Structure 1
Amino acid sequence: MDLKLQVELLKSAKDITISGSKSESNRLLILQQIYPNLYIENLSDSDDTHHLQEALSLANDIADIGHAGTAMRFLTAFFATQEDVVKVLQGSERMHNRPIEILVDALRDLGAEIEYVEKEGYPPLKITGKKLTKNKISINGNVSSQYISALMLVAPSLQNGLTIELVGKITSVPYINMTLQLLHQLDIEASFNDQLIKVAPKSIINNQTIVVESDWSSASYFYSIIALSKVGASVKLSAYKKDSLQGDSCLADIYKHFGVTTIFEENSILLTKENEGKSTVLVQDLKNAPDIAQTIAVTCFGLGIACDLTGLHTLKIKETDRLEALREELTKLGADISVTNESLHLKTSSVIKENVQIATYNDHRMAMAFAPLALKVPIEILEAEVVTKSYRNFWNDMTSVGIKSITVK
C-alpha cells in the first residue's frame, strides 16, 4: 500500500490516545512469563508486541517473530532459561541479517545451549532450554541495550541471580534503567552502579498490576507535526507522565529548539507551537534516544534548519541501515546531507522538492518520520502499511490532525 499525503487545515487541540510503550510492554511480557500473577494494562498494539505474545503462547517448536528485533533478543534469553523447551527462533529476511552473536556468546558463557541454524552469528537459532546456575557475565557496554536488558529480564529467574559487568563505554543507558525500574516495581532486588548490574533471584512476587505508559517514540511524530505547523497549533496526547521511564521523553526538551512547548497535564501532554523557534544549528547527542533521530532529522529539514546528530551507531543494524536510508531519502527531497557510521550532518536548505516518493525499507520509522513533511509539500509514502510494526493506528491519527492519506496503489 502506497499513500499520497495531502493536508487539510491542521486541527488544534485534538486528543490523540497512543497505545502503550512497545519497550515497556515487551519487557513486562517476559516478566509475566516468570511471574504469572503480574497483570498488564495498556499493552502496546504494535506488531512487535503481537509477535512476542504469539511466540510466548505457541506450543509448537518454531516461533517466527517477523521484523521484531526486541522479541528476537528477549526470547533468545527467555527460551534459553526454560528447561526442557526446544525452540527454533526465526524471523524475516532482514532479521536473519541482524547480528545476535554478542547475546548468544553471553548466554553460552552462562551455560546456555544455542545453535545457529544457518549463518554463524545470526538468526535463526535453535535453543534448547536449560537450568543456568552460573551468575556472572561480561558484555561490552556499547552494544544494543536490548542484549543487556534481555539478560536482566531473565536474571531473577536464575537460581543464583546474575551480575553483568559492562566493559567500556555504555550507550542507551535509559533503556537499561527502564528495565531496572520495572524490576524494582516488582520488588526485585537489582542495581546498576558504575559498570556493574546486579539482579538477585526472586521466585515469587505479590499480585500486581502495572499500567504501561504510552509510547514516547510514537509521540515524536506529533512533535514534528506541531514544529512544522504555524504558531498556535496544538495537540493533546494521552497517556503520558513527567517521570517517564522512556529515554525518548527527552523530546520535550529537544523540541523547544523548534518552538514547541510541552505542558504535562493529568495523564496527558499538550504540545503547542509557541513561537518560530531557533534558526541555529541543532547539535544533539542521541546515544540515549536513537529511535527519534529520523524524526528530528526530518523536522530540521522541513524547517530549513541544520543539524549535527551523533551517538547513532546502533541505527546501522535496525530494520534497515537507518543512517543510509535517511541520507538517500532526504537527498531525493533536496537535502544536503552526509552520514558516518555514527552521525548525521544536515546543512541548511530552503527548497523541498514536491511529490517525491519516499522508500521505507521495511522500516516503520521511515514512514512515520517523513509523514509530517506533508505539511510542507505533497509527498508519497511507499509501503505505508509498515507502520503497524509499532503503531497500528498511525494513519488514522494522522487524518485526525489534518494529514489525509489517499491510497495510490
Structure 2
Amino acid sequence: MHFILHKSEIAKQSSIQITGSKSESNRLLLLQALYPELNLENISNSDDSSLMTKALSSNSEVVDIHHAGTAMRFLTAYFSIQEGREVTLTGSHRMKERPIKILVDALKELGADISYVGNEGYPPIKIKGKKLPKNKVSLKANVSSQYISALLLIASKLENGLVLTLEGEITSVPYIKMTLSLLDEMGIESYFEGNTISVKPNTQNLTPKTLTVESDWSSASYYFSIVALSDIGVEITLSAYKENSLQGDSALIEIYKNFGVETFASNNKIVLKKVANNNTPKSFNLVNAPDIAQTIAVTCFALGISCDLTGLHTLKIKETDRLVALKTEIEKLGGKVDITNESLHLYASSSIKSGVSIATYHDHRMAMAFAPLALITNLVIEEAMVVSKSYPTYWEDLASLGFKITK
C-alpha cells in the first residue's frame, strides 16, 4: 500500500510513546526461553520480535523467520543447543541471500551439528540440537555484532561456558556491550578484556526477576530528523528512555547537536528541542550506529547540506543494500550521492523535487527515514506498511504530530 505524504507542519509541542527496543527485546526473548524465571515488560511490538516469540514457542520442524535477520542469527545459536531437537531454519528470499557461514562455522567449532539445505553459507539451514562440549572459539572482530551476540546469549548454557576471541579491530562494541549488560542484569557473569570475551557457565536457576525493555533509539532517530527540519522552538517528548542507554543509536544525542537539536532527559523521557539552525557540512563515522545512516543522510539532504558518512560496511547485507537504495532514492529527488562499500558522500543541493515516489525495498528504515521530507515537500512512500518490521504505529504517530497522510 502506498501512502501520500502532503507537505505538513507539526505542532510546537508533542509527545510520543515508542515501543521497546527491538535489539533488547530479541536478546531478552532468547534469554527468557533459556531461563523461564525471567519476566519481561515493554517488549517491542515489531514484526521481528513477534516472529522471535513465535519461533521460540514453536514445536514445528520448520521455522520460517521471514525478513527477521536478528532472529535468524540468534535462533541458529539457540536451536543448536536444544538437545534432541531437529529444526530447519528458513526465511524470505532476501534472507536466503544473507550470509550465515561465519556463525555456523563458529558453532560447528564448538561442536554443533548444522548443515546447509541449499546454497553453502546461506539459509535455510538444518540444525540438530545437542550438547556443545567445547568452550573456545575465534571470530574476526569486524563481523556483524549479531554473530557475536548470538554466541554470547547461549554461552551460559554451555557446560564449560565460552571464551570468545575477536581477531582484529572490533567494530560493533555497543551492541556487544548491550548483550553483556543484559547478561549482567540477569546475574550471569561475563568479562570483556582486550579482544577476549568470556562468559561463565550457569547451571542453577536464576533468581526470578522482571526486566523492562528500554524504548528503541533507532525508532527515535526519525524524531531527531523531524525536529532538525522544524522551526526553532519545536520540541517532541519521547518515552521511555534511559539517560545511560545500552543502545548504540543513543549516539543520536551527540550527532544531532550538530543540527541544532538539544536533548533533555528526565523521568525516563527525553525532550528533543530545536534550539538553532546549523547548516554547515557534516561528517560522521557511524561504525557503532549504522542503522541511523539513512536518517542522517535524509536530514542532510532536506537541509541542503553536504555530508560524509563512513563506517557503513554492514549496510550492504541488510534488508536491502542500503547504500545503493539511498543513492537511488535521493537522486530521484534531485540530489547527488557517491557511495563506496563502506561510505556515502552527499553533495549539497538547493532544491527537492515534489511528488516523487520513494521505493522502500522491503526495508522499514527506508520508509521511515524518508518520511520527514514531508516537512519540506509532497512525496509518496511505496509499500508504507513495511514499517511494521520495527515500528507498526509509525504512521499514526506521525499523524499525531500533524503530518498529513492519505492512503
What TM-score results when the alignment is normalised by the length of structure 2? 0.99
Equivalent AA in structure 1 for residue 393 of structure 2: N
Look up the match of 1:123. Answer: 123
Alignment of 1:231-246 (within 5 A): 231-246=232-247
> In structure 1, how many angstroms separate the alpha carbons of the residues matched to 2:394 and 2:315?
22
Q: Does the CA-based 8 Å contact 2:8-2:374 persist in structure 1?
A: no
> In structure 2, how many angstroms separate the alpha carbons of the residues matched to 1:402 and 1:338?
34
> In structure 2, how many angstroms separate the alpha carbons of the residues matched to 1:189 and 1:59?
31
Q: Does the CA-based 8 Å contact 2:298-2:369 persist in structure 1?
A: yes
Alignment of 1:5-84 (within 5 A): 5-84=5-84
What are the Cα deviations for residues 52-103 of structure 1, in whole angstroms up to 9, with x where unaligned?
0000111111111110000000000000011011111111000000000000
Q: Does the CA-based 8 Å contact 2:9-2:375 persist in structure 1?
A: no
More deviation, 3-12/256-265: 3-12
Q: Does the CA-based 8 Å contact 1:357-1:382 persist in structure 2?
A: yes
The answer to whether structure 1 residue 365 and structure 2 residue 361 are counterparts is no
> In structure 2, how many angstroms separate the alpha carbons of the residues matched to 1:221 and 1:13?
16
Equivalent AA in structure 1 for residue 37 of structure 2: N
> In structure 2, how many angstroms separate the alpha carbons of the residues matched to 1:27 and 1:13?
34
> In structure 2, how many angstroms separate the alpha carbons of the residues matched to 1:6 and 1:40?
39
What TM-score results when the alignment is normalised by the length of structure 1? 0.98
Look up the match of 1:381. Answer: 381
Counting matched residue pairs gives 406
Q: CA deviation at 1:371?
A: 0.3
Q: Secondary structure at the match of 2:66?
A: coil
> In structure 2, how many angstroms separate the alpha carbons of the residues matched to 1:143 and 1:118?
23
Look up the match of 1:158. Answer: 158
Could you tell me which runs of 5 or more consecutive residues in structure 2 were left unpaired when the two chains were aligned. Answer: none
What are the Cα deviations for residues 183-224 of structure 1, in whole angstroms up to 9, with x where unaligned?
110111101111000000012210111000000000000000
> In structure 2, how many angstroms separate the alpha carbons of the residues matched to 1:318 and 1:179?
20
What are the Cα deviations for residues 369-403 of structure 1, in whole angstroms up to 9, with x where unaligned?
00000100001000101000000000000101111
Look up the match of 2:212. Answer: 211
> In structure 2, how many angstroms separate the alpha carbons of the residues matched to 1:337 and 1:187?
47
Root-mean-square deviation over aligned CA pairs = 0.7
Alignment of 1:237-256 (within 5 A): 237-256=238-257
Q: CA deviation at 1:167?
A: 0.6
Look up the match of 1:400. Answer: 400
Calculate percent identity across the aligned residue pairs: 59
Q: Which runs of 4+ in 1 moved over 2 A?
A: none
Equivalent AA in structure 1 for residue 86 of structure 2: V
Q: Does the CA-based 8 Å contact 2:187-2:206 persist in structure 1?
A: yes
Q: Does the CA-based 8 Å contact 1:7-1:402 persist in structure 2?
A: no
